[in-house]
Amino acid sequence: MLAGCGTAIAAALAGCAARAVDAEEEITEEFDRDVSTLVVEATNGDVAVEATDRETVLVTGTKQAASERALEDVELVSSHDGDVLELSVETDDGLLSLLDGSALMHLALAVPSDLNAVTVETANGDVSGEGLAGDVGAETTNGDVVLAFEEVTGDVDAGTTNGDVELAVPDSVDAALALETTNGEVALEIDDSTDAAVGTEISTEVGDGSHTIDVETANGDVTVRES
């Protein structure tokens, strides 16, 4: 009997892996308190952050799951400590969730352009950022990281395990760059002295090197180019 149950559960889990997304729900939250540091943590889903001319943080979350019931297993949780806003996507990983298929949530954030620091982490999904200021951290395990800067005003740390990393920075950037991949190619396409430098690891300084740009992947390419 137990063996039969195990077979049934295994079959159900296998079916979940191939099941299409049949349920979707969009949520919107806005945070109007003063924020200078933003921390976003997710597990399954893409995270996109865009800096705009605004004073609040606007979050649009798109939940996706195999069933309406499974949508209830994922939620956006926020905490505010002083000027630090932390957002995390939390999921219920119980047996019913496994049988229904794991729910996920994609996040799209519109944030003020004068934040001092933004840190984004996800495990299974892409991370993108546009126009961010201050210190920027972007990390995923299975996915790509794409960041576009109008100006680099802080330190940048971007990485993934399985995916590509691409940064677009102005040619006037002042930074010490450390770019590395294990299985892939590194291309640095800024500044006359480093134009079209290619390898698996590049360390160099552009301008006065006043900021640091650290980029790493294990399985994928790294590209830093002019914006």
Confidence at residue 1, expressed as pLDDT on a 0 to 100 scale: 39
Q: Where are the alpha helices (DSSP H) in the chain?
A: 2-18, 68-71, 95-100
Contact yes or no for 44/25 (Cβ under 8 A): no
pTM of the model: 0.86
Cα atoms in the Cβ-side hemisphere of radius 13 Å centred on 36: 3
Higher model confidence: residue 100 or residue 83? 83
pLDDT category, 191, cuts 50, 70, 90? low
* Candidate ranges 67-71, 115-119, 184-188; pick with highest mean pLDDT: 115-119
Confidence at residue 21, expressed as pLDDT on a 0 to 100 scale: 72
What integer best gives the mean pLDDT of the chain? 87
d(CA 91, CA 76): 9
- CB under 8 Å to 204, separation ≥6 — which residues? 176, 177, 188, 194, 197
Q: Distances from the Cα of 147 to the Cαs of 22, 80, 226, in angstroms?
A: 31, 26, 12
Helix (H, G, I), strand (E, B) or coil at 101: coil
Parse the chain into domains and list their residue ranges: 1-125, 145-227
